Amino acid sequence: MKFLLFFLSLNSLAIIETNSYAPIFDQLDEVLKKTSPDKVLFVTDLDNTILATSSDVASDQWVSYQAELIKNKSTSSLKLFNDFPTLLEAWHSVMGLQKMRKTEDYIPEKIKSLQNRGVETMILTSRGHVIRDATMRELGEHNFDFDKKPFTQTFRATLDNTERTVDFKNGIAMTEGAHKGNALEFILKRLNKSYDVIFFVDDHKKHTLRVEEVFSKKSKVYSYRYGKEDANVNAYRNSLNRISKSNKSLLEQYLTNCSRHL
């Protein structure tokens, strides 16, 4: 038991909590003083990390809340779907209709600066490839550009031992809710790439832990749990009115989209 607690403590200490990208970029600057840029990989999540929805509808907090209800086999009236694939289908169907906002205004320029210095950059998102066009539109509108910086490879494949499709194109990896540590490892093997240092940023602790666990023996990993949107997420989860309203609006949009394809 003592060993288990010590092990969990070590993992917990490996994850850096931050509500701002500023210390992440500061640490990158320090690393680049003694590490060649092409040996550094910067990976960021998308939803509630660099962009967030302008409303609760199809937000990261909406899909996470619904996923928990499914996982826990909840009988709550707030639960809309009985399985994760149907939830994912509904999320993707409506996600492309939503407008996004930047979590912090300076992030696009900072990432561009890293790219100009030769740091290889990537987005690793739980979104599926069916909303790639909408995703690229929102990234472009907010001045995020990962296109061919430096990854020109394109592939779509099933992640090992899962039913998740990993779709990789020009630095944007869409993983359909897959284990992000395994997904990133899978992608780098396909690209025949390895790095001395990996920076990973995500708003969900489970993803930061999973990347840390997969890569800690291969690279120096700086894994950040980004909490800028925590107040908004917690306010949503603690408001039955907000949850109900977002459910109603999302379900209406989803059913409208489905009827268009009949």
pLDDT digits (tens, 9 = 90+) for 27-42: 999 999 999 999 999 9
Amino acid at 11: N
Question: Residue 148 is part of a domain; what is its CATH number?
Answer: 3.40.50.1000
Compute the distance between CA of residue 177 and CA of residue 120 in angstroms, rounded to an integer: 23
Cα–Cα nearest to 119, from 130, 110, 128: 110
Count CB neighbours of 230 within 10 A. Answer: 15
Give the pLDDT of residue 259: 66
If one counts the domains in the chain, the total is 2
Compute the distance between CA of residue 107 and CA of residue 67 in angstroms, rounded to an integer: 29
Shared-domain flag, residues 143 and 113: yes
Q: Establish if 9 belongs to a structural domain.
A: no
The dihedrals phi and psi of 241, each to the nearest 5 degrees, come to -65, -45
Range of the domain at 74: 60-98+232-251
Shared-domain flag, residues 43 and 138: yes
Q: Structure pTM? A: 0.90
Residue pair 225/16 in contact (Cβ under 8 Å)? The answer is: yes
Provide the pLDDT confidence category of residue 11 given band limits of 50, 70 and 90: very low
pLDDT digits (tens, 9 = 90+) for 210-253: 999 999 999 999 999 999 999 999 999 999 999 999 999 998 88
Pairing of β 100-102 and β 120-125: unpaired
The dihedrals phi and psi of 174, each to the nearest 5 degrees, come to -110, 125
Shared-domain flag, residues 49 and 34: yes
Shared-domain flag, residues 152 and 200: yes
- 3-class secondary structure, 32: helix
Mean pLDDT of the chain: 91
Residue pair 247/78 in contact (Cβ under 8 Å)? The answer is: yes
